[in-house]
Structure 1
Amino acid sequence: MPVLIDTVAWVRMENGRILCARPKGKDIFYIPGGKRENGETDLQTLLREVEEELTVTVVPSTVIHAGTYEAQAHGHPDGVVVRMSCYYGDYRGTLAASSEIDEMAWFSYGDRSLVPPVDQLLFDDLHAMGELI
């Protein structure tokens, strides 16, 4: 039976680029977000993870589902699948990398190779819709 890693991600687009973050000790960038904790809803996970990683508050009333993607989990054995439920949403505060994050960057479609397979699926969709340059 495959192992499933259940995650929620924040799709933050500005000027045709998407916000990505590189966690401490990792060599790859991810869409901001993370794993659900026991009993959390997607919204609760999204709000907690974005605040932990980027020190801003996502405005709950603005959150819209952007899609759900599944792919082989980066850096895990074959058969470990990550499911990433993606959401758009406005935020309050100033974006800043927390102690968990080494680097933030705004990626275009040309940066697709710098993110894991599940994020690449989102990049493909956003590019096809003309949102990601």
Structure 2
Amino acid sequence: MADGRVRQLIDTVAWVRIEEGRILCARPRGKGVFYIPGGKREGADTDLQTLLREIEEELTVALLPETAAHVGTYEAVHGPTDGALVRMSCYTADYRGTLAASSEIEEVAWFSYADRALVPPVDQLLFDDLVHAGLLR
């Protein structure tokens, strides 16, 4: 990244679930960092198709597609040396089922704004918007 060019675009979709001023985050198995739940788009999948698939895979719940609403799209360089740009399209949605970590997820947690440093740069942009909107404590 020394030359300032982005070497790769990582296109993701994320589920913004806020309860009592805290946002749901998940830590994948084998990783040391928490993320907003979601994942990478596959092929020509729409945001909604990606969101429904990834959340069911990660958290064992079914999102209700008719309740999905776009919150915002954020972009940030993933790390200081790899040059990957992460684009994260964020949606809220109601769900059916019981939230639980799947085999892909090591741990789920409810974060407040004080936990902002524990998530990647693109997630931090979402945290900033949510706290300014009064949705995140």
TM-score (norm 1): 0.96
* Counterpart residue type for residue 47 of structure 1: L
Using the TM superposition, give the Cα deviation of residue 75 of structure 1 relative to its aligned residue in structure 2, in angstroms: 8.1
**Which residue in 1 is equivalent to 2:99?**
95
* Counterpart residue type for residue 91 of structure 2: Y
Q: C-alpha separation between the residues in 1 aligned to 2:53 and 2:80?
A: 24
* Counterpart residue type for residue 16 of structure 1: G
Q: C-alpha separation between the residues in 1 aligned to 2:79 and 2:27?
A: 13
Structure whose alpha-carbon radius of gyration is higher? 2
Question: Are residue 38 (structure 1) and residue 43 (structure 2) matched?
Answer: yes
Query: How do 1:33-112 and structure 2 match up within 5 A?
Result: 33-74=38-79, 77=82, 79-112=83-116
Runs in 1 of length 4+ with deviation above 2 angstroms? none
Q: 1:94 to 1:127 in 2, by over 3 A?
A: same
Q: C-alpha separation between the residues in 2 aligned to 1:118 and 1:48?
A: 21
**Which residue in 2 is equivalent to 1:16?**
21
Paired residue secondary structure (1:65):
strand
TM-score (norm 2): 0.94
**What's the % identity of the aligned pairs?**
71
Cα-to-partner distance string for 1:5-32 (whole Å, 9 max, x where unaligned): 0000000000000000000000000000
Paired residue secondary structure (2:117):
helix
* Counterpart residue type for residue 20 of structure 1: C
- The more displaced of 90-99 and 68-77 is 68-77
Q: C-alpha separation between the residues in 2 aligned to 1:27 and 1:76?
A: 18
The answer for unaligned runs of 5 or more in structure 1 is none
The number of equivalent residue pairs is: 132
